[in-house]
Amino acid sequence: MNIWLASAFVLLLLLCSISDIKKRIIPNQLVILLLALGLLQSWLYFYLADALLGLLFPSLLLFLAKSKWNFYIGAGDIKLLSAIGIWVGWHANIYVLLAGGVLALVYAGIVGCLRRGQASSIPFAPFLSAAAIAIYAGLVVQQL
């Protein structure tokens, strides 16, 4: 693994998270940069097929759920999950989605208890990013 690419991955996820927290939007420029650097990394380290599957799955499932059942998740979150999939591959991307969802549910439960009766949305990018960084770190350690 290239330390510069790994650092860029973490930095871009942090920037996406900060933007989602402050503005409730994930800039396309950051997602495109994540996609491009992820493709570069997957090409350099010979796992391009797994990366391309990670781009599609499970993001495609979320997109279908959003369009068919009005499942509430932002399009930026789906694009971010696709970009993360290029970095971690499709198998690990499932765990990113699950872990990010669990973190978001715990946060929503705590916030819900503290703010009774006040409905609000929560940014999902910080939870996806935290899960992605942890899982990516695990994948790097496995390769050592």
Q: In 3D, which of 141, 142, 111 has the Cα closest to residue 126? A: 111
Tell me how far apart the alpha carbons of residues 142 and 98 are, in angstroms, rounded to a whole number: 20
Per the structure, the complete domain to which residue 96 belongs is given by 3-143
Residue 120 phi/psi, 5-degree rounding, is -155, 160
Domain count, the chain: 1
pTM: 0.93
Mean pLDDT (10-residue bins), the chain, 144 residues: 93 99 97 97 88 89 81 89 95 96 94 78 96 96 88
Q: What is the pLDDT of residue 67?
A: 83
> ∠ CA(14), CA(51), CA(35), 5° rounding?
40
Q: In 3D, which of 86, 89, 99 has the Cα closest to residue 129? A: 99
Q: What is the pLDDT of residue 117?
A: 67
